[in-house]
Amino acid sequence: MRIRSTLTFVVAAVAALGIVTPAAHADSTPTVRELLDKCDNGTDSCVFHPSSRTEFGGARHQVGRNANNCSTVNQNESIAWSDTTGGSNSIGITITAEYKFGEEFSVAVSATYEHTWTWSHTVTRTDTLTTPPWSVGQIFHAPQMQRVTGTYELHFGKKFYGHYYWYVNNFSATGPEDTDDAVTFFTRAMTGDERNRCPKSVSTAKEFVSTESTPAQPALVASVRPGD
Amino acid sequence: MRRTVATLIALVAGLAICTPATASAAPATHCTLRLETGVVTCGARLAAVTNNDVIIGRVFDDQNYGGSSFTITGSHPCKNGNGRDFGVQLAKYGWANRISSLQAWGNCWLNLYSGPNYNGDHDGEFKADTPYVGPLMDKRTQSIGFD
C-alpha cells in the first residue's frame, strides 16, 4: 500500500519503461521484472495507476464430452464440465500471490472500474443437452475477458539504481471476468465414422417407433445407417 | 518549497494540440506539463517521462481515467502537510472545466478549485486515484493545488 511520509523530500529521478531495457543499460538500469519484484517488497510505496480497460470475448472452445445420440429419438443428457481461464501480462510471468505487484494491480483495477480482477477463474456447472437423433451435442464456452493497461509508480526509501522514483509504463494484463460467461449448446449430425462407432444394439433402433410428442427432424429420420 | 503561479509560465510549444476535445469522435490526446519549464508536450499516447522530474498528478476528461489526459510533472515529490508544493492554472493549458477523474502521484494530495488562483468551490484533498471527482467538481475545476 502507499506509504506517505512528511519527512520524505527527495530529489527524484525517473526512468520510464522505454529506458528499462536490459540490454542497453544493463549496469545502470534495472529490468522491468526486477522493478516489479521490488513492489511492496523493498519500496516505500508501489502504486498501479490504470489508464484504460477494455472487455472482450475470449476464444470459444468445447468443454465437457460429446453427447452422442445413437437413437432415433431426441435424447436429453446431463454433462458436467469445468473450465479454468488464466490471465496473462506484458512481462510474461504467471502471477501468483507471492507477487505483490499483482495484488496492487488487482486492488487498483477493482477500485477504479468496479470490476473484480482475478488472475484465474474457473467455471463449473452441469448442463443438459437435448440432442436430435443420430447427432452429436457439444457445449462451448467463451469466457468474458478484460484487459487493463497502466503505469506502476515505485518509490524507494533509498536510491535504487541511482534513483528514488521508477515508473514501469505500459504494463498491461489480460484476465478473466467472473461474470457473463457465454455458454453455447451446439448439435450437428454424426459423421459416418461416428455412426459406425454407435453400439450395434442401439443402432438397430431404426425399427423403433418414437412415441415422443416432438418428432425427430425429418432429414435425420431418413438418415438411418445404410446396411442395417 | 512553495511553488507560485508565477513559476508556471508556459512555453506553449505543444499547447496548440492540447485544445479540449470538442466532439465525441475527437481522438484523445495526452499532454504533459513540465512545471519546471512550463513546456507542454502532447501525443496520441501517454508519454514516458524521460527527464529527472516526478509525476505529481494526472487528470482526465472522462470518468475512470478515460478520454484525453493531462499529466503534471514537478522537480520533486510533495511533502504533505507542509503547505502547497505546486499549483496549476488549467485555463492556460486548455484544461479548465474538463476534469472528471484524477490520479494522485508523487506523494501529492490534489485540491480542486472551481475558480482560478485556488478560489471558488473546493474539493479535496484527493490522496489517491479517483475515478470520479464527484458532482461538486465534475467539469468545474479551473485550478489545482498539489500539497
ipTM for the predicted complex comes to 0.73
B/e letters for A152-167, b = 16+ CB within 10 Å, e = fewer, are: bbbbbeeebbebbbbb
pLDDT tens figures, A147-202: 999 999 999 999 999 889 999 998 999 999 887 578 999 999 999 999 999 988 65
Q: Give yes or no for A161 touching B (CB within 8 A).
A: no
Instruction: For residue B54, give the nearest of A49, A53, A165 by CB distance.
Output: A165
* Distance from C-alpha of A175 to C-alpha of A142, rounded to nearest angstrom: 13
Q: Do A8 and B81 touch (CB under 8 A)?
A: no
Cis omega before residue A194 (within 30°)? Answer: no
Tell me which chain A residue has its CA closest to the CA of residue B51: A14
C-alpha cell at A21: 531495457
Contact between B131 and A111 using a beta-carbon 8 Å cutoff: yes
Q: A53-100, pLDDT tens digit by residue?
A: 999 999 999 999 999 999 999 999 999 999 999 888 888 887 777 788
CATH topology of domain B5-19+28-146: Gamma-B Crystallin; domain 1 (2.60.20)
Out of A2, A12, A51, the one facing B54 most closely (by C-beta) is A12
At A144-153, the pLDDT tens digits run 999 999 999 9
Q: Using an 8 Å CB-CB cutoff, list chain B residues near A46.
A: none
Contacts of B131 in chain A (CB under 8 A): 111-113
In order of A44, A90, A201, A220, A224, the CA distances from A196 in angstroms are: 68, 48, 12, 16, 11
Nearest C-alpha neighbor of A143 from the set A64, A79, A66, A87: A87
SS3 A72: coil
CA angle A140, A142, A146 (to 5 degrees): 170
Cell of B110: 490534489
Which residues of chain A make contact with B127, given a CB cutoff of 8 A?
4
DSSP lists the bridge partners of residue A171 as A150
User: Could you tell me how far CA A138 lies from the centroid of its own chain?
Assistant: 20
